[in-house]
Structure 1
Amino acid sequence: MRQSQGTYPHPQPAQAALASARPRQGWRKHILRDKYLYLMLVPVAVYFLLFKYAPLFGEIIAFKNYRLTEGIWGSSWAGLEHFRKLFSSSDFYIVLRNTLLLNLYNLVFAFPVPIVLAVLLNEVRGNGYKRVLQNLLYIPHFISWVVLGTIVIAMLSPSTGIVNTVLKLFGMEPIYFMASSFWWPISFVASGIWKEAGFGTILYMAAMAGIDPTLYEAAKIDGASKLRQIWHVTLPGIRSTAAILLILQVGKMMDVGFEQVFTMKNPAVNQVAEVISTYVYTRGIENLQYSYTTALGLFQSVVALILVVSVNGLIKAMGERGLW
């Protein structure tokens, strides 16, 4: 019997089963084809499961009066008591202010430095000289803050530090960098730039390597100077990389880090140097206030998530690729 125009026969059961099996077979085919790549992901997945997702279970103690002897389940419920205590504490707003200010200084002054260094290194034509420069810039990244912080403190010493020695040669009074509420944040940001700026050029150098050389040739033909080539070719070529790193940097606005601050701070500058990470260590580890500091850590994580989502949406609205 002829079918009417515009109608199609219903698929037979065998054909339907075959069609539904094709995606599964395609998935298995991809797994088998790239099995070694997926195998390399196993340690990464195990790491995140053990050290990132499994500890999320411990966030429950932010809502309990946690006692080591009673354990997580045996401790009594406290509801939002620790959050109320947190938001009513004057210390909380001091450490929150210091954390945000130090991160803001890093965002304004430290974030552009790897971009500038990468642009300058990209213009160096001598390969041997370029490799030496890169190695010298990368070395501080591999020095721990315990060592590097000690070096910074020694360099800025008012009596024996090289910086104050130079100032004395010009007839200036020595500056107590590590004991001054004004100079300590500057020393903090400058030492962070010294340690991480060189290593931060790696991603930008990789992005520059992917720029089409014919774009530079076309710019030269149009009479563009070296600065115009950087402005119209190099910087647009690394814009997407800078946008991704900006999102990640904003995501760390609530977390300065522990090692650098703990190594460099002292009681004389606590009003500008005490941040969330060191405050959690002091109150949580030393004073055993686990529930209180867990509440602070949960607040920190929620705000960081909001910042990442917001900046990611803003970057995508500006036409760049976001994290997702």
Structure 2
Amino acid sequence: MKANTEYIRHKPAIRVRMRTGFKRMLNHWPLYILILPPIIYIAIFNYVPMYGVLLAFKQYLPLEGIIGSPWVGFSHFEQFFSSPSSWRIIKNTILISIYSLVAGFPLPILLAVALNEVRIKWFKKTVQMLTYAPYFISSVVLVGIVMQVLDPRIGLINQFIQLFGGESINFMGDPQSFRSIYVWMGIWQGTGYGAIIYLAALAGVSKDLQEACIIDGASKIRRIWHVDLPSIRPTIVILLVLNVGGIMSVGFETIYLMQNNLNLSVSEIISTYVYKVGLINSNYGFSTAIGLFNSVINLILLIIANFTARKLTDSGLW
């Protein structure tokens, strides 16, 4: 009763705020039209497919559809975790992701800081072009190049090894080499493009602080450590949180193209396993359950990483 009384008493003020908000929307309608396509895209491709999550708890029958298919509860999850290969697949996914994060995350920052200090414009543009270009190579072409370079018979690396009397090495068939090949190939492809965000952040660093450091006699290394890096720390933290939140989401295309029977013990990850089980074997409920497990773990890691970042640095996604 008290709540209803409060609502009636504030009803005129609520109406005024609604009218004011509506008028403001009309005055800025071009901006709302501008953000409408991304909202529609996200709704169609990110929220509508969530309906398919029901498959994780059902035995999907194409003729019955998602709603008509019988419920099986958590049997798909139990089947996955009781499988002898499940923990190996999870371990492979985590190891590759952590390797990529530890080796690859600092390099775009270092490249951006180095490029920011270059004063010769033609040299800076040349380095940027050479480091950005690999990002625009498709995964198929990139894997093809790597396989040609590492080929045991005609590969450039093996020819160099044989030139000094060594024996050729089947790099793509060596399980111990697979993770390093994948990670450093990805670093070569993405470091230049990843540095763009940090270069944009460095462009906003206060010139007054830079000049004050120069007047105080600080060296270039000191200016980078005490001015540039602290200024772009929020950007670094946000990207680190996003990367930690995607630890279980290793790229599917490149891994799948690099797989063979010799390296399958370390190259089989969750995304490739879901593809083989779900699309090739048509076991849609089982593959949806694995994908849902993967997404839930990523969400938990994202929340933990953001909470930790907030506690330590006062920066985060929310």
TM band (smaller chain)? over 0.9
Letter in structure 2 aligned against 1:203 = I
Report the RMSD for the aligned CA atoms in angstroms: 1.6
Larger Cα-atom Rg: 1
Give the aligned partner of residue 231 of structure 1.
Answer: 225
The C-alpha deviation readout for 1:159-198, integer Å capped at 9, x for no partner, is: 2111222223333332221111111110000100011111
The alignment partner of 1:165 has SS state of helix
Q: Is the 8 A contact 1:83 1:292 kept in 2?
A: yes
Instruction: Please state if 1:282 is matched with 2:276.
Output: yes
Q: How many angstroms apart in 1 are the aligned matches of 2:19 and 2:161?
A: 73
Compute the displacement of 1:53 (Å). Answer: 0.6
Give the aligned partner of residue 238 of structure 2.
Answer: 244
The structure 2 residue matched to 1:179, chosen from 161, 168, 173, is 173
Compute the displacement of 1:210 (Å). Answer: 0.3
After alignment, is 157-166 or 108-117 more displaced? Answer: 157-166
Q: How many angstroms apart in 2 are the aligned matches of 1:254 and 1:94?
A: 13
Give the aligned partner of residue 259 of structure 1.
Answer: 253
Q: Which runs of 5+ in 1 are unaligned?
A: 1-12
The structure 2 residue matched to 1:56, chosen from 27, 43, 50, is 50
The structure 2 residue matched to 1:211, chosen from 198, 205, 215, is 205
Q: Is the 8 A contact 1:63 1:78 kept in 2?
A: yes
After alignment, is 252-261 or 24-33 more displaced? Answer: 24-33
TM-score w.r.t. the length of structure 2 is: 0.94
Q: How many angstroms apart in 2 are the aligned matches of 1:251 and 1:224?
A: 37
Compute the displacement of 1:16 (Å). Answer: 6.0
The C-alpha deviation readout for 1:185-244, integer Å capped at 9, x for no partner, is: 100001000111110001100000000112111111121111111111111111110100
The structure 2 residue matched to 1:130, chosen from 121, 124, 140, is 124
The structure 2 residue matched to 1:24, chosen from 6, 12, 18, is 18
Q: Which runs of 5+ in 2 are unaligned?
A: 1-7
Q: Is the 8 A contact 1:61 1:294 kept in 2?
A: yes
Number of matched residues? 311
After alignment, is 16-25 or 203-212 more displaced? Answer: 16-25
Q: 1:58 to 1:126 in 2, by over 3 A?
A: same
Letter in structure 1 aligned against 2:32 = Y
The structure 1 residue matched to 2:148, chosen from 134, 140, 154, is 154
Q: Is the 8 A contact 1:243 1:320 kept in 2?
A: no
Compute the displacement of 1:30 (Å). Answer: 3.0
Q: 1:237 to 1:173 in 2, by over 3 A?
A: farther
The structure 2 residue matched to 1:305, chosen from 299, 303, 310, is 299
Q: Is the 8 A contact 1:141 1:199 kept in 2?
A: yes
Give the aligned partner of residue 111 of structure 1.
Answer: 105
Q: 1:17 to 1:62 in 2, by over 3 A?
A: closer
TM-score w.r.t. the length of structure 1 is: 0.92
Letter in structure 1 aligned against 2:166 = M
Letter in structure 1 aligned against 2:312 = M
Give the aligned partner of residue 163 of structure 1.
Answer: 157
The structure 2 residue matched to 1:34, chosen from 28, 32, 37, is 28
Letter in structure 2 aligned against 1:175 = I
Letter in structure 2 aligned against 1:50 = I
Instruction: Please state if 1:273 is matched with 2:250.
Output: no
